[in-house]
């Protein structure tokens, strides 16, 4: 029986089609999460190793097949460690319900205007700033590197924190709902190569945090006086005040 005749003899039911659709969607979401990150490069390397294993098996290269088999067996734990940020972000995205998004949008709407006003004021003054707006994923690990504040969000307070004379101006401010929870926080730097070499450490830190969490991270450049926003590992540059309000309120 030929392959074509075998395929014609198949009669998939609705359960088979549903299963295929779910698996395809899972792969699609996984590729979206790791696209453009270091995980994509690691995945390409793994595919090359799998191809090498298949070629060694076909050519009956016993020693190479054995070594690659051992590497695959004990490499699962290493992959979990390497992909820890991506796995954490994927689980966080999976755990977000429509109701949680709606409640978060209502909370963010009250704060969006205040944070946007502060960012635009700092940009007009040529004052550099880094503001992380927490959403579903907790930023507790990064709060420990800064100074706790627990202060109501206000443009005046944010401007004071990022003033060059402030001892907290070099780090990031973390905002959760309507509260500045900490300032002077150290954020993880992205390892992804940046197309524009003019982007500095603040931009790399903003992208790094957005790769590991679902936070919205604002960057005010003191060199160009522009505002950029990092979300899901991507950086949107030269953001207008209207666009910034849309992003912060959950409409962007």
Tens digits of per-residue pLDDT, 188-208? 888 777 777 778 889 999 999
pLDDT at 103: 43
For residues 68 and 101, which has the higher predicted lDDT (pLDDT)?
A: 68
pLDDT at 97: 47
DSSP assignments along 81-149, one per residue:
HHTHHHHHHHHHHHT--HHHHHHHHHHHHHHHHHHHHHHHHHHHHT--EEEEEE-SS--HHHHTTSEEE
* pTM: predicted TM-score of the whole model, two decimal places: 0.62
For residues 68 and 210, which has the higher predicted lDDT (pLDDT)?
A: 210
For residues 87 and 18, which has the higher predicted lDDT (pLDDT)?
A: 18
Lowest mean pLDDT among 67-71, 112-116, 155-159, 227-231: 67-71
DSSP-assigned letter for residue 166: S
Nearest Cα to 227, choosing from 110, 108, 115?
115
Cβ neighbour number for residue 75 with a 10 Å cutoff = 14
Residues 47-63 pLDDT 10s = 787 888 888 888 888 88
Pairing of β 172-176 and β 129-134: parallel
Nearest Cα to 215, choosing from 177, 183, 160?
177
Domain-wise residue ranges, the chain: 3-94, 98-248
pLDDT at 58: 87
Question: What is the SS3 assignment for 231?
Answer: strand
In 3-state terms, the chain is what percent helix, strand and coil (to 5)? Answer: 55, 15, 30
Ramachandran area for residue 184 (φ above 0: left; ψ -120 to 50: alpha; else beta) = left
d(CA 180, CA 131): 10
Q: Count the alpha carbons within 13 Å of 242 in the hemisphere toward its beta carbon.
A: 0
pLDDT at 194: 73
pLDDT at 30: 65
pLDDT at 119: 93
* pLDDT of 178 over the 80 cut: yes
Beta carbons of 172 and 185 less than 8 angstroms apart: yes
Nearest Cα to 119, choosing from 208, 252, 247, 215?
247
Cβ neighbour number for residue 40 with a 10 Å cutoff = 15
pLDDT at 64: 80
Q: Which fold has domain 98-248?
A: YojJ-like (1 (3.40.1700)
Residues 86-142 pLDDT 10s = 566 555 555 554 544 444 443 555 688 899 999 999 999 999 999 999 987 778 888
What is the enclosing helix (H) or strand (E) of 191?
none
d(CA 57, CA 24): 28
Q: What are phi and psi of 159, to 5 degrees?
A: -65, -40
């Amino acid at each position: 029986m030929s392959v074509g005749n075998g395929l014609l003899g198949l009669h998939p039911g609705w359960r088979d089609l549903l299963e295929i659709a779910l698996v395809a969607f899972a792969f699609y979401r996984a590729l979206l999460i790791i696209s453009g990150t270091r995980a994509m490069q690691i995945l390409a390397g793994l595919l090359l190793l799998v191809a090498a294993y298949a070629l060694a098996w076909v050519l009956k290269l016993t020693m190479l097949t054995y070594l690659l088999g051992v590497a695959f067996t004990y490499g699962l734990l290493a992959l979990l460690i390497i992909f820890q940020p991506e796995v954490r972000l994927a689980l966080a995205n999976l755990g977000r319900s429509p109701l949680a998004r709606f409640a978060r949008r209502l909370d963010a709407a009250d704060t969006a205007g205040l944070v946007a006003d502060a960012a635009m004021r700092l940009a007009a003054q040529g004052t550099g700033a880094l503001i992380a707006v927490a959403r579903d994923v907790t930023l507790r690990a990064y709060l420990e590197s800064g100074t706790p504040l627990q202060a109501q969000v206000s443009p005046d307070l944010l401007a004071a924190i990022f003033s060059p004379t402030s001892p907290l101006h070099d780090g990031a401010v973390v905002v959760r709902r309507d509260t500045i929870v900490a300032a002077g926080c150290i954020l993880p730097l992205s390892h992804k190569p940046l197309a524009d070499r003019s982007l500095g450490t603040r931009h790399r830190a903003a992208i790094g945090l957005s790769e590991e969490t679902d936070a919205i991270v604002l960057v005010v450049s003191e060199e160009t006086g522009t505002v950029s926003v990092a979300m899901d590992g991507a950086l949107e540059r030269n953001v207008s005040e209207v666009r910034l309000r849309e992003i912060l309120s959950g409409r962007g």
